Amino acid sequence: GENVEQHPSTLSVQEGDSAVIKCTYSDSASNYFPWYKQELGKRPQLIIDIRSNVGEKKDQRIAVTLNKTAKHFSLHITETQPEDSAVYFCAGSDSNYQLIWGAGTKLIIKP
Amino acid sequence: EPEVTQTPSHQVTQMGQEVILRCVPISNHLYFYWYRQILGQKVEFLVSFYNNEISEKSEIFDDQFSVERPDGSNFTLKIRSTKLEDSAMYFCASALRQDTDTQYFGPGTRLTVL
């Protein structure tokens, strides 16, 4: 079955700098890759997603890239702000349409 | 914007007791899911549900778990005989389609088993 690995587990960046979180997946049949942001005690909120027929997608300060050959995808946040501090999860949809989640990255934005 | 809702927000129960967690998915969605998140860990898939039956379930979803859509709006997760290790946040999610479609999450129910 699908396995999703996520790195780093914690990422600390200066406010205004960029943050990059990387994920790899194992199932070449996976075709949907969402990113969720979870603030402490809250529900996961979808921030961006990408489908396997697209290599890159951007929404304002957030972008996701997908390399199907290498089976990895990344989240890029530019001009980070304090409200970007949260735990970010990547996920991959396996051949049974289950969302398999990464372990999460705690993003800390330093003022 | 419509949202998935869940009740209760926090459930405390004694080990061995049965609990029912309730979810109201987004009204025109057809696919429903339960996930579990143990404190500080990743979200884990439990089960997916479509057309009044289970589509997929994970290894976690053993015989003590069951799901039901008792009416046109509610989607429930029952844990028959709770164990200490069932303590977690349980999230319900719904989606309009199954393949490559966004799953919208509810606020979660924090289950504490004593």
**Blockwise average pLDDT, block size 10, chain A, 111 residues:** 92 97 93 92 90 90 96 97 96 81 96 90
Nearest CA in chain B to A102: B42
Q: Is the CB of B101 less than 8 angstroms away from the CB of A89?
A: no
Select the residue from A2, A33, A43 to test the B interface by mutation, using most B Cβ atoms within 10 A.
A43
Query: What's the confidence (pLDDT) of residue B6?
Result: 97
Query: What's the confidence (pLDDT) of residue B72?
Result: 76
Query: What's the confidence (pLDDT) of residue B114?
Result: 96
Checking if the pLDDT of B107 tops 90, the result is yes
A43 in contact with chain B, both atoms CB, cutoff 8 A: yes
Nearest to B43 among A42, A44, A97 (CB): A44
* C-beta of residue B20 within 8 angstroms of C-beta of residue B78: yes
Which residues does residue A76 pair with via DSSP β-bridges, in sequence order?
A: A20, A63
Query: What's the confidence (pLDDT) of residue B99?
Result: 62
Question: How many other C-beta atoms are found inside a 10 Å radius of the C-beta of residue B101?
Answer: 18
A10 in contact with chain B, both atoms CB, cutoff 8 A: no
